[in-house]
A and B are shown apart, each in its own frame.
Chain A
Protein backbone atom coordinates (compact mmCIF):
# COMPACT_ATOMS: atom_id res chain seq x y z
CA UNK A 1 0.00 0.00 0.00
CA UNK A 2 1.10 3.54 -0.78
CA UNK A 3 0.50 6.47 1.58
CA UNK A 4 -0.37 9.67 -0.23
CA UNK A 5 -1.59 13.14 0.72
CA UNK A 6 -4.77 14.33 -0.99
CA UNK A 7 -5.60 18.05 -1.21
CA UNK A 8 -9.01 19.55 -2.00
CA UNK A 9 -9.45 23.14 -3.20
CA UNK A 10 -12.24 25.64 -3.87
CA UNK A 11 -15.72 24.15 -4.19
CA UNK A 12 -14.22 20.65 -3.94
CA UNK A 13 -12.99 21.34 -0.40
CA UNK A 14 -16.59 22.20 0.47
CA UNK A 15 -17.90 19.00 -1.18
CA UNK A 16 -15.31 16.91 0.68
CA UNK A 17 -15.79 18.79 3.96
CA UNK A 18 -12.02 19.03 4.34
CA UNK A 19 -8.95 20.59 2.78
CA UNK A 20 -6.66 17.60 2.97
CA UNK A 21 -6.28 14.06 4.21
CA UNK A 22 -3.84 11.16 4.10
CA UNK A 23 -5.08 8.11 2.24
CA UNK A 24 -3.72 4.65 1.56
CA UNK A 25 -4.03 3.26 -1.92
CA UNK A 26 -2.91 0.16 -3.73
CA UNK A 27 -0.85 2.39 -5.92
CA UNK A 28 -2.66 3.23 -9.13
CA UNK A 29 -3.89 6.79 -9.65
CA UNK A 30 -7.22 5.51 -11.02
CA UNK A 31 -7.83 3.52 -7.85
CA UNK A 32 -7.20 6.56 -5.69
CA UNK A 33 -9.51 8.75 -7.80
CA UNK A 34 -12.32 6.17 -7.57
CA UNK A 35 -11.84 5.90 -3.82
CA UNK A 36 -12.14 9.69 -3.43
CA UNK A 37 -15.20 9.83 -5.71
CA UNK A 38 -16.85 7.11 -3.64
CA UNK A 39 -16.18 9.03 -0.44
CA UNK A 40 -17.40 12.34 -1.87
CA UNK A 41 -19.77 11.66 -4.82
CA UNK A 42 -20.41 15.40 -5.37
CA UNK A 43 -16.87 15.79 -6.71
CA UNK A 44 -17.94 14.03 -9.92
CA UNK A 45 -20.26 16.95 -10.69
CA UNK A 46 -17.56 19.60 -10.26
CA UNK A 47 -15.27 20.27 -13.21
CA UNK A 48 -11.67 19.78 -12.10
CA UNK A 49 -8.14 18.76 -13.01
CA UNK A 50 -5.74 16.61 -11.04
CA UNK A 51 -2.23 17.66 -10.07
CA UNK A 52 0.39 15.26 -8.77
CA UNK A 53 3.22 16.93 -6.88
CA UNK A 54 2.01 20.28 -8.31
CA UNK A 55 2.14 19.10 -11.91
CA UNK A 56 -1.23 19.27 -13.69
CA UNK A 57 -2.37 16.19 -15.64
CA UNK A 58 0.99 14.45 -15.40
CA UNK A 59 1.72 11.26 -17.24
CA UNK A 60 1.66 9.24 -14.03
CA UNK A 61 -0.24 6.01 -13.53
CA UNK A 62 1.54 4.56 -10.50
CA UNK A 63 1.67 6.57 -7.30
CA UNK A 64 4.58 6.59 -4.89
CA UNK A 65 4.71 6.96 -1.11
CA UNK A 66 4.47 10.62 -0.16
CA UNK A 67 2.92 11.81 -3.43
CA UNK A 68 0.67 14.87 -3.18
CA UNK A 69 -2.52 14.57 -5.23
CA UNK A 70 -4.59 17.75 -5.60
CA UNK A 71 -8.15 18.22 -6.90
CA UNK A 72 -8.23 21.58 -8.67
CA UNK A 73 -11.48 23.23 -9.81
CA UNK A 74 -11.04 25.97 -12.46
CA UNK A 75 -8.72 28.72 -11.22
CA UNK A 76 -10.25 32.08 -10.33
CA UNK A 77 -7.48 34.41 -9.23
CA UNK A 78 -7.42 38.16 -9.69
Chain B
Protein backbone atom coordinates (compact mmCIF):
# COMPACT_ATOMS: atom_id res chain seq x y z
CA UNK B 1 0.00 0.00 0.00
CA UNK B 2 1.18 3.48 -0.71
CA UNK B 3 0.54 6.24 1.80
CA UNK B 4 -0.36 8.77 -0.90
CA UNK B 5 -3.90 8.57 -2.29
CA UNK B 6 -2.76 9.53 -5.82
CA UNK B 7 -0.53 6.46 -6.09
CA UNK B 8 -1.73 2.92 -6.78
CA UNK B 9 0.38 -0.19 -6.19
CA UNK B 10 0.56 -2.03 -9.53
CA UNK B 11 -1.62 -1.31 -12.59
CA UNK B 12 -4.81 0.75 -12.68
CA UNK B 13 -7.47 -1.95 -13.22
CA UNK B 14 -10.33 -1.38 -15.70
CA UNK B 15 -12.79 -1.99 -12.83
CA UNK B 16 -11.27 0.93 -10.90
CA UNK B 17 -12.02 3.21 -13.84
CA UNK B 18 -15.67 2.16 -13.93
CA UNK B 19 -15.96 2.59 -10.14
CA UNK B 20 -14.77 6.17 -10.51
CA UNK B 21 -17.35 6.85 -13.23
CA UNK B 22 -20.06 5.52 -10.91
CA UNK B 23 -18.82 7.71 -8.03
CA UNK B 24 -19.46 10.82 -10.12
CA UNK B 25 -23.10 10.07 -10.94
CA UNK B 26 -24.43 12.09 -8.00
CA UNK B 27 -22.54 15.18 -9.22
CA UNK B 28 -25.24 16.30 -11.61
CA UNK B 29 -23.71 19.65 -12.52
CA UNK B 30 -21.13 17.68 -14.56
CA UNK B 31 -21.83 17.56 -18.27
CA UNK B 32 -18.53 16.12 -19.54
CA UNK B 33 -15.75 13.84 -18.34
CA UNK B 34 -12.48 13.71 -20.27
CA UNK B 35 -10.22 10.75 -19.45
CA UNK B 36 -6.59 10.00 -20.06
CA UNK B 37 -5.30 6.45 -19.64
CA UNK B 38 -1.58 5.85 -20.05
CA UNK B 39 -0.76 2.28 -21.11
CA UNK B 40 2.65 0.59 -20.94
CA UNK B 41 3.88 0.02 -24.47
CA UNK B 42 5.90 -3.05 -25.51
CA UNK B 43 8.71 -1.06 -27.14
CA UNK B 44 11.32 -2.88 -29.16
CA UNK B 45 14.88 -1.78 -28.38
CA UNK B 46 17.26 -3.62 -30.69
CA UNK B 47 16.62 -7.33 -30.10
CA UNK B 48 14.78 -6.74 -26.85
CA UNK B 49 11.17 -6.03 -26.04
CA UNK B 50 9.76 -4.24 -23.00
CA UNK B 51 7.97 -6.64 -20.65
CA UNK B 52 6.89 -3.99 -18.20
CA UNK B 53 7.85 -0.90 -16.24
CA UNK B 54 8.67 -0.67 -12.58
CA UNK B 55 7.62 2.78 -11.37
CA UNK B 56 8.95 4.49 -8.28
CA UNK B 57 8.00 7.84 -6.79
CA UNK B 58 9.03 10.44 -4.26
CA UNK B 59 5.75 9.93 -2.48
CA UNK B 60 5.59 12.98 -0.22
CA UNK B 61 6.53 15.22 -3.10
CA UNK B 62 3.89 13.60 -5.36
CA UNK B 63 1.27 14.74 -2.87
CA UNK B 64 2.56 18.31 -2.98
CA UNK B 65 2.92 18.42 -6.79
CA UNK B 66 -0.58 17.01 -7.44
CA UNK B 67 -2.03 19.75 -5.22
CA UNK B 68 -0.07 22.38 -7.18
CA UNK B 69 -1.29 20.99 -10.53
CA UNK B 70 -4.90 20.93 -9.31
CA UNK B 71 -4.71 24.47 -7.90
CA UNK B 72 -3.25 25.73 -11.15
CA UNK B 73 -5.88 24.08 -13.37
CA UNK B 74 -8.84 25.08 -11.18
CA UNK B 75 -7.61 28.67 -11.24
CA UNK B 76 -7.40 28.69 -15.06
CA UNK B 77 -10.47 26.64 -16.10
CA UNK B 78 -13.57 28.11 -14.49
CA UNK B 79 -15.91 25.35 -15.73
CA UNK B 80 -13.96 22.54 -13.99
CA UNK B 81 -15.83 20.58 -11.37
CA UNK B 82 -13.54 17.61 -10.56
CA UNK B 83 -9.99 16.60 -11.36
CA UNK B 84 -8.50 13.30 -10.23
CA UNK B 85 -5.09 11.73 -10.85
CA UNK B 86 -3.87 8.19 -10.11
CA UNK B 87 -0.40 6.98 -11.03
CA UNK B 88 1.00 3.49 -10.57
CA UNK B 89 4.02 2.56 -8.50
CA UNK B 90 5.63 -0.88 -8.69
CA UNK B 91 5.37 -3.23 -11.65
CA UNK B 92 3.01 -2.53 -14.54
CA UNK B 93 3.22 -5.02 -17.41
CA UNK B 94 3.04 -4.08 -21.10
CA UNK B 95 -0.61 -3.55 -22.02
CA UNK B 96 -1.64 -2.48 -18.51
CA UNK B 97 -2.60 1.03 -17.39
CA UNK B 98 -0.15 3.14 -15.37
CA UNK B 99 -1.81 6.58 -15.35
CA UNK B 100 -5.46 7.54 -15.02
CA UNK B 101 -6.69 11.12 -15.13
CA UNK B 102 -10.35 12.22 -15.04
CA UNK B 103 -11.29 15.82 -15.61
CA UNK B 104 -14.95 16.74 -15.25
CA UNK B 105 -16.58 20.01 -16.18
CA UNK B 106 -19.95 21.49 -16.99
CA UNK B 107 -19.27 21.41 -20.73
CA UNK B 108 -16.89 19.47 -22.97
CA UNK B 109 -14.44 22.16 -24.13
CA UNK B 110 -12.73 22.80 -20.81
CA UNK B 111 -12.67 19.08 -19.97
CA UNK B 112 -10.74 18.35 -23.20
CA UNK B 113 -8.35 21.28 -22.72
CA UNK B 114 -7.73 20.68 -19.03
CA UNK B 115 -7.09 16.93 -19.34
CA UNK B 116 -4.38 17.58 -21.93
CA UNK B 117 -2.82 20.31 -19.82
CA UNK B 118 -3.00 18.08 -16.74
CA UNK B 119 -1.18 15.18 -18.44
CA UNK B 120 1.53 17.55 -19.74
CA UNK B 121 2.07 18.90 -16.21
CA UNK B 122 2.22 15.35 -14.81
CA UNK B 123 4.93 14.46 -17.34
CA UNK B 124 6.91 17.57 -16.47
CA UNK B 125 6.46 17.88 -12.71
CA UNK B 126 5.48 14.59 -11.06
CA UNK B 127 8.49 13.00 -9.30
CA UNK B 128 8.08 9.51 -10.76
CA UNK B 129 10.72 7.30 -12.39
CA UNK B 130 10.57 4.35 -14.78
CA UNK B 131 12.72 1.26 -14.77
CA UNK B 132 11.95 -0.41 -18.09
CA UNK B 133 12.34 -4.19 -17.90
CA UNK B 134 13.32 -6.19 -21.00
CA UNK B 135 12.72 -9.80 -21.99
CA UNK B 136 16.46 -10.60 -21.81
CA UNK B 137 16.54 -9.70 -18.10
CA UNK B 138 18.12 -6.28 -18.69
CA UNK B 139 16.71 -2.90 -17.78
CA UNK B 140 17.10 0.80 -18.48
CA UNK B 141 16.09 3.83 -16.43
CA UNK B 142 14.01 6.48 -18.11
Shortest distance in angstroms between B8's beta carbon and chain A's nearest beta carbon? 13
B141 contacts the other chain (CB 8 A) = yes
B64 contacts the other chain (CB 8 A) = yes
Contacts A/B (CB < 8 Å), 9 sampled: A10-B131, A51-B61, A51-B127, A54-B64, A73-B129, A75-B123, A76-B142, A77-B57, A78-B38
CB pair B58–A7 under 8 Å, yes or no, is yes
B119 contacts the other chain (CB 8 A) = yes
Number of interface residues of A (CB under 8 A): 15
B5 contacts the other chain (CB 8 A) = no
Given contacts A72-B58, A73-B141, A75-B126, 16 further A-B contacts (CB under 8 A): A9-B127, A10-B131, A10-B141, A51-B58, A51-B127, A75-B125, A75-B129, A76-B130, A76-B142, A77-B57, A77-B122, A77-B128, A78-B38, A78-B122, A78-B123, A78-B128
Nearest CB in chain B to that of A11: its residue:
B141
B71 contacts the other chain (CB 8 A) = no
Give the distance in Å from the alpha carbon of A50 to the alpha carbon of B128 in the complex: 15
A70 contacts the other chain (CB 8 A) = yes
Contact (A75, B128) CB under 8 Å given A11-B141, A14-B141: yes
CB pair A10–B124 under 8 Å, yes or no, is no
- The residues of B that contact A78 with a CB separation of less than 8 Å are 38, 87, 98-99, 119, 122-123, 128
Nearest CB in chain A to that of B141: its residue:
A11
CB pair B61–A77 under 8 Å, yes or no, is no
B23 contacts the other chain (CB 8 A) = no
B60 contacts the other chain (CB 8 A) = yes
Nearest CB in chain A to that of B126: its residue:
A77
Complex interface residues of chain A between 46 and 78 (CB less than 8 A to chain B):
51, 54, 70, 72-73, 75-78
Complex interface residues of chain A between 1 and 20 (CB less than 8 A to chain B):
7, 9-11, 13-14
- The residues of A that contact B130 with a CB separation of less than 8 Å are 10, 76-77
- The residues of B that contact A10 with a CB separation of less than 8 Å are 56, 129-131, 141
CB pair B99–A9 under 8 Å, yes or no, is no
